[in-house]
């Protein structure tokens, strides 16, 4: 069964600093997709970044980047130059060929001014 683990329930970062959120997953598949979603307080989840497992190059979206280690089944999210608006719950998610997402339990990120 696919499982996604986020071992950090809460994280905090000083404004303008860099923070890394951890995610590991378990799968026997070779072809799959990984996502980071952000959920601000009382708002819907929005996609932050996506990684295809067949791509060796780590995905980057502006201040957000991932460190994808396929052999280690690790998919961490790095947020550079943290801003107050980055404060949210962050969910790591896994998806294989079907429609089903598997989510982690989330990491609550606080940005300290």
Partner 1 sequence: EPEVTQTPSHQVTQMGQEVILRCVPISNHLYFYWYRQILGQKVEFLVSFYNNEISEKSEIFDDQFSVERPDGSNFTLKIRSTKLEDSAMYFCASSRLAGAYEQYFGPGTRLTVT
Q: State phi, psi for 85 to the nearest 5 degrees.
A: -70, -10
* Closest distance to partner 1 from the beta carbon of 33 (Å): 5
Per-residue contact track with partner 1, 7 to 46, x per CB under 8 A? --------------------------x-x-x----xxxxx
**Residue 109 C-beta: closest distance to partner 1, Å:** 17
Neighbouring CB atoms inside 10 A of 93's CB total 20
Q: Is 91 an interacting residue with respect to partner 1 (CB under 8 A)?
A: yes
Neighbouring C-beta atoms of residue 87, cutoff 10 Å: 18
């Amino acid at each position: 069964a696919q499982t996604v683990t986020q071992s950090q329930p809460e994280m905090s970062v000083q404004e303008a600093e860099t923070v890394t959120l951890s995610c590991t997953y378990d799968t026997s598949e070779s072809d799959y997709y990984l996502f980071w979603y952000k959920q601000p307080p009382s708002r819907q989840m929005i996609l932050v970044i996506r990684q295809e497992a067949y791509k060796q190059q780590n995905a980057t979206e502006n201040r957000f980047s991932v460190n994808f280690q396929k052999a280690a089944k690790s998919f961490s999210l790095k947020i550079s130059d943290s801003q107050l608006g980055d404060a949210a719950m962050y969910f790591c998610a896994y998806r294989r060929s079907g429609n089903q997402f598997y989510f982690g339990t989330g990491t609550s990120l606080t940005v300290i001014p």
